[in-house]
Structure 1
Amino acid sequence: MQKRWLRIITILFFIGISTIAANAQCSICTKTAQQLGEGPAKSLNTGILYLMFAPLAIMGYIGFRWWKREKEVLESESMSEPTV
């Protein structure tokens, strides 16, 4: 089960890295980036995606740990219930 999740996370990570044209700019950032030129615009877009990844990774980790803990609690409760 653990290896399955590791594979899924690895595949999603590489899919996320390999995206060629991800637009992460709001309208104001897009207008500013167009004025700067193509090189700085790509750097700005990459920076926005980089800054977006950290909070999402943290929330994903917390959600995974929460789900795993709830699963353990439910399993322990079902084992401790007396059968009548």
Structure 2
Amino acid sequence: MKNKTLFSLFSFLFFLETNAQCAMCRAVLESGEGQTVAEGINEGIVYLMAVPYILVGGIAYFIYKKYSKLKK
């Protein structure tokens, strides 16, 4: 069970390529000279998007674990 959880967590976090910018942000950032700013903004958006899902998933896991112990 522990291996499945770790595998699913790592496979969720390590996508090959994710594009999290809205169309307006992407147009403004791509019109600039350097692409490093656009990549940095994109990585920041993905990070901010992933953290709440990980926290909610962790809380749900601990609640499930607690209730499964109570049923036994």
> Identity of aligned pairs, percent?
25
CA distance in 2 between counterparts of 1:46 and 1:67 reads 31
SS of the residue aligned with 2:16?
Answer: coil
Q: Which consecutive unaligned segments of at least 5 residues does structure 2 have? A: none
* Greater gyration radius: 1
Q: How far apart are residue 55 of structure 1 and its match?
A: 1.0
SS of the residue aligned with 2:31?
Answer: helix
**Alignment size in residue pairs:** 71
Q: Which has the higher contact order (CA 8 A, sep 6+)?
A: 2
| Map 1:5-84 → 2, pairs under 5 A | 6-36=2-32, 37-75=34-72
Task: Extract structure 1 runs of 4+ deviating beyond 3 A.
Answer: none
Distance 1:17 1:58, change over 3 A: closer
Q: CA RMSD in A?
A: 1.8
TM-score (norm 2): 0.76
Q: How far apart are residue 17 of structure 1 and its match?
A: 4.2
CA distance in 2 between counterparts of 1:35 and 1:7 reads 44
